[in-house]
Chains A and B, each alone.
Chain A
Amino acid sequence: MRVLVTVGTHQRGFDALLNSLEPWASKGRDSFVVQAGASTTVLPGARQQAWFTREEFAKELALADLVVAHLGCGIAREVQVAGKPCLFVPRRQERGEHIDDHQEELREALGGRTGLGFASPDDDLEAMAGCLVGTRPLPPPWQSDLVRAVRSWLTQS
């Protein structure tokens, strides 16, 4: 299985997520590609880079069987558009991973959507991700409404 891991492009790293993935990656069964951002932890056996270009990331997303990610608005949208199952681990303010806990808010809002799972770094991420394999998220439900509304707003005099 090919697993794409991303902690987004935030200026703060997310070492708690990478540390939590270490037991799984160490088994060597699955192939890991990691966009680690400012994190310092290196996942054993993974192809890891701080950043991918937009094109590189899109290619890796298309190839991935599963995504493990922080709960940023960009990746939350991208996995739904691409139909890739994703296990999200929200960043937490108390661990210094973000300025507040809005990623927990997004977790509540997206809860129940097909193909999306949610965990904390203390969980068994391999087991939780295993439950998502073979599922497929649906596209974002309100995207076209927003595009229409923006177009309409722009053409108002």
Chain B
Amino acid sequence: MNILLVASHGGHCAELLSLREAWEGHKQLMVVTQGAGNPPGVLEVDPIGEDLWSLLKAFVRFRRIVAEFQPDAVVSTGAEVALPAMFWGRLYGARTLYIECSARVRSASLTGRILSRWVTACWVQWPTALGAFKGRARFHGGTV
């Protein structure tokens, strides 16, 4: 199985790495936004932040990444870099799992609100965050 793993650098990346036992034995491609503390061996893409132009460029970049890697599943712990990854992942036939960041305890991020309507599965890391997703998310544990 080809698994595409996607996260912003920093805490989101640390959360994703903490789950690595879950995809041991599968072919993986990990894509992380460029930044301090990234592990070796990941594919780095430009950070997006709050810049719409950067987000548009990321959509172009991720179309190529998804088309070339042909993932069976896409897993992301956010943040906004999950948007292009999940968008193209689903269009190319992959199952998509978005895990909201553990920092969201009662609220939903904008990325989470958008992706909860698009992905195969949307999970939160606190039971108290379920209400913010209006039935579109589930809780199965957390990294913090």
A residues whose Cβ falls under 8 Å from a Cβ of B: 8-11, 37, 50-54, 57, 71-78, 80, 99-100, 102-103, 105-106, 108-110, 140, 142-151, 153-154, 156
Q: How far is the CB of B105 from chain A (nearest CB, A)?
A: 4
Q: Which residues from chain A contact B128 at a C-beta distance below 8 Å? A: 109
B contact residues, total (Cβ < 8 Å): 46
B residues whose Cβ falls under 8 Å from a Cβ of A: 1, 3, 9-15, 18-19, 21-23, 26, 35-39, 47, 49-50, 73, 75, 95, 97, 99, 101-107, 109, 121, 123, 125-126, 128, 140-144
Our count of residue pairs bridging A and B at CB distance below 8 angstroms stands at 132
Instruction: Choose among B19, B105, B107, B125 the residue with the greatest number of A CB atoms under 10 Å from its CB.
Output: B105
Q: Which residues from chain A contact B36 at a C-beta distance below 8 Å? A: 9, 37, 50-53
A150 & B75 in contact (Cβ 8 Å cutoff): yes
Considering only CB atoms, which chain A residue lies closest to B129 in the complex?
A105
Summarize B's interface: helix, strand, loop or mixed. Answer: loop
B22 & A154 in contact (Cβ 8 Å cutoff): yes
Q: How far is the CB of A92 from chain B (nearest CB, A)?
A: 14
